[in-house]
Amino acid sequence: AQKVTQAQTEISVVEKEDVTLDCVYETRDTTYYLFWYKQPPSGELVFLIRRNSFDEQNEISGRYSWNFQKSTSSFNFTITASQVVDSAVYFCALRERIQGAQKLVFGQGTRLTINP
């Protein structure tokens, strides 16, 4: 069985603050992929990052950064100098083989509100 836990249901910060969204996963596979998606109010899912289980290097993309720690099964996402446009629901997801099929399973999501 596998599971993705995003313990923070909602986060609200003031613009320009840094904010970290937590993601903890469980899997028995040695090879797996982790993802982060952004879902703005319009509903579409915006791909942010994909990371495979063999690549533990942290990644930075502009104001976004990700910290992958296999030892703690975490894949946290940090937004630096947050902006109002960052307000959305963010999902962490895990791709692994379940009963012979590759499936993408989502965490519950974190609703991030950036206040001006």
> Backbone phi, then psi, for 100, in 5-degree steps?
80, -5
Q: What are the residues binding other proteins (CB under 8 A)?
A: 33, 35, 37, 42-45, 47, 50, 52, 91, 95, 101-109, 111
36 CB neighbour count, 10 Å cutoff: 22
Per the CB < 8 A criterion, the answer to whether 81 and 63 are in contact is yes
Nearer to other proteins, 7 or 81 (CB): 7
Per the CB < 8 A criterion, the answer to whether 39 and 109 are in contact is yes
Nearer to other proteins, 25 or 37 (CB): 37
What is the closest distance, in whole angstroms, from the C-beta atom of residue 58 to other proteins in the complex? Answer: 20
Nearer to other proteins, 32 or 114 (CB): 32
Per the CB < 8 A criterion, the answer to whether 52 and 33 are in contact is yes
What is the closest distance, in whole angstroms, from the C-beta atom of residue 16 to other proteins in the complex? Answer: 27
The SS3 call for residue 62 is coil
What is the closest distance, in whole angstroms, from the C-beta atom of residue 112 to other proteins in the complex? Answer: 14
